Amino acid sequence: MLKYAIKRIILAIPVIISMTIIVFLILHLAPGEPIDLIVGPNVTPEVYESIRHKYGLDQPLIVQYFKFLGNLFRLDFGDSILQQRPVSRLILERLPVTLKLGIAGFILSVIIAIPLGILAAVNRNTIIDYTCMTGAMLGMSLPTFWFGLLLLYFFAYRMRIFPISGYGTWKHLVLPAFALGLTDAAVTARMMRSSMLEVLGQDYVRTARSKGLAEKVVIYQHALKNALIPIVTLLGMRLGWIIGGSVVLETIFSIPGLGRLMIDSIHSRDYPVVQGSMIVLTSAIILGNIIADILYAVIDPRIKFD
Amino acid sequence: MDQEILKVNNLKTYFFTEDEEIPAVDGVSFSISKGETLGIVGESGSGKSVTALSIMRLLPVPPAKIVDGQILFRDEDLLKKSEDEMRNIRGNRISMIFQEPMTSLNPVFTIGRQISETLILHQGMNNKEAIEKSIEMLKLVKIPLPEKRVREYPHQLSGGMRQRVMIAMALACRPEILIADEPTTALDVTIQAQILELIKELQEQLGTAVMMITHDLGVIAEVSDNVMVMYCGRALEYSDVETLFNNPKHPYTIGLLKSVPKLKGRREKLHAIKGIVPMPNEITSGCRFKTRCEQKTLICENKEPPFIKLGKSLVRCWKYQ
Ligand SMILES: Nc1ncnc2c1ncn2[C@@H]1O[C@H](COP(=O)(O)OP(=O)(O)O)[C@@H](O)[C@H]1O
Ligand SMILES: [Mg+2]
């Protein structure tokens, strides 16, 4: 088990390295020098050059990359051009907000989706199934931002149960977490249903029934554990998206999270911040995938021995 | 020996799909006595599995529905039992093993868990007792290193070993009847023989009655006391095994026997029955076998023959009228 986990983490190293190269290149190959922002248009070439030198932008790309990589190991993403503060500090300030929202949405989606998916599969082609799946279809086709606005309109603007925007109390989190969780739940529920349906048609489910086991045991033990295998992978990947998934919602609900930070810094071309938040975001996704694979091995005994 | 424990009367199991009614099993009757083996033979699609699953009451309703008949198990009609009562019988008094040993065991549970589950459920054992008994069962089905195997998962075992596990699981509660639905079809020939041998041996030890379903007459010859030949939802011939092999009566049975290679005597050309098994709802009048029968007469076209008693055999063919 531990060996598998270590193997899996080692396998992630090339992925992480490629990721840093891509993030690095995107910003350095993008048109426009980042320092144009700091220096303004009316500056002598000498001053311009000295600033370029100060940020190391006059060195060859490869040297710049290795410096960038070296800094990454120390979790040093450089300083924000706009705010003149360390990017890591900025990210650390925003991360908890995003994590809270993401985790709340994630938990919400799991506790809604899994039971609904099972319910729909077990009652296939009945009114229960159709209701669940119509709901899921709706949830999937409505964009998260639209759903967020809808929730805002009804529960914040009309009924005034929850605050319209901002961040601070748990009440601020309820609507965005639901907007995030419900749209996510739609995808998971559909997947849970089809996974469960497939498993229910397997020979070993028939074997379980032929042993005289109660239908509950057949479904919640024999079938469920198998049906969860693909779902765990999906959820693992979604876990990584916790940080990236709420970018849009943070904007709609004016929540000062990492997503907002990233969007704002893209607008203001604050490249070190964009770079830093992209690294955090992609790392979270890679981490999510690793967790998914390890969980997969925990529930599927066939994995470890391959 | 002659104590009848299972008696199936005029069983009719139909499938009702959106636009069709498929009489998969259409009026089949047979009985099994204590310790006896009834072989059910027939080509694929003749309704053997549906018959077995009807007895277990494991067919999905809908589309399946048992529209008529009785399944008397120790004189009680299984078709009148509640689902709870059936659960008490399944895996306990009547067990079943299936064709696909590779997929019939749950991949995410250990062998021990899967065997002990029935013991805990039906025999009220605690976990420890059940695992000990599981090890004992694995020994009984001759799996080497049972103490180790009991903690392993199905994918760590070969097909033959998995079928042994299935047998151990099915026999754990010492059922009165074991239904084996093509238990050796998916296995290598050498393993097939071992599994059949094992079933025979355990049957003698435990006194279990066996319903052996197969499309392979070799298997029938090996294990059966009585044989029912099924075709397209019907029984065409029903007799003891010696009579069936020495003196087959129905043209279908004769055709099946001719298609089995023999090593004794002259090597004759193998004789395959022409054509394919029709769908159960294709033939609406006359004899089910008429489309492939070489001795067909006018009456076969229009009127279905009844079971005709000929010595120790029952045969459904106008030839013997
Ligand atoms: N789930 C099902 N839905 C509709 N028809 C079925 C179903 N299962 C079996 N049948 C029909 O029942 C007939 C007998 O099938 P089966 O008992 O599996 O044959 P076999 O003798 O090969 O075991 C087949 O011709 C098939 O068309
Ligand atoms: Mg079959």
Taking only the tens of pLDDT, chain B with its 321 residues reads 468 899 999 999 999 988 888 899 999 999 999 989 999 999 888 999 999 999 999 998 888 999 999 999 999 999 999 999 999 999 999 999 998 888 999 999 999 999 999 999 999 999 999 999 999 999 888 899 999 999 999 999 988 889 889 989 998 888 999 999 998 887 788 888 888 888 888 888 888 999 999 988 988 988 999 999 999 999 999 999 999 988 888 889 988 888 777 666 555 566 677 778 888 888 888 888 888 888 888 888 888 888 888 888 898 988 888
- Taking the centre of ligand 2 as the mean of its atom positions, its distance from the CA of residue B230, in whole angstroms, is 12
Confidence at residue B260, expressed as pLDDT on a 0 to 100 scale? 74
- As a residue count, chain B comes to 321
- What is d(CA A44, CA B12) in angstroms, rounded to the nearest whole number? 97
Tokens found for residue A181: 């969780």
Q: Are B62 and B17 in contact (CB under 8 A)?
A: no
Residue of A nearest to B103 (CA): A203
Residues B192-223: tens digit of each pLDDT: 888 888 888 888 888 899 999 998 898 898 89
Confidence at residue B1, expressed as pLDDT on a 0 to 100 scale? 47
Cross-chain Cβ contact B58/A210 below 8 Å: yes
Q: Which atom of ligand 1 is nearest to the CA of B60?
A: 1
- Dihedral sign of CA atoms B204, B205, B211, B217 in order: negative
Cross-chain Cβ contact B108/A226 below 8 Å: yes
Tokens found for residue B144: 């080497």
Tokens found for residue A85: 């503060």
Ligand 1 atom 17, closest CA: B47
Domains of chain A: 95-299 (1.10.3720.10)
3-state secondary structure of B125: coil
HSE, side-chain direction, 13 A CA sphere, residue B123? 23
**Mutate which: B106, B113, B120, vs A, most A CBs within 10 A:** B106
Q: Are A280 and A236 in contact (CB under 8 A)?
A: no
Q: Which atom of ligand 1 is nearest to the CA of B47?
A: 17
- As a residue count, chain A comes to 306
Residues A16-52: tens digit of each pLDDT: 889 889 888 877 777 666 666 666 667 788 887 887 7
Q: Is the pLDDT of residue A197 over 90?
A: yes
Q: Are B191 and B167 in contact (CB under 8 A)?
A: no
H or E element that contains A112:
helix A87-122
Ligand nearest to the CA of residue B41, numbered in listed order: 1
DSSP letter assigned to residue A79: B
H or E element that contains B209:
strand B209-214
Cross-chain Cβ contact A222/B109 below 8 Å: yes
> Long-range contacts for A263-272 (Cβ within 8 Å, ≥24 apart)?
A265/A80, A265/A82, A268/A37, A268/A82, A269/A32, A269/A34, A269/A37, A269/A81, A270/A37, A270/A80, A270/A81, A270/A82, A270/A83, A271/A27, A271/A34, A271/A81, A272/A77, A272/A78, A272/A79, A272/A80, A272/A81, A272/A87
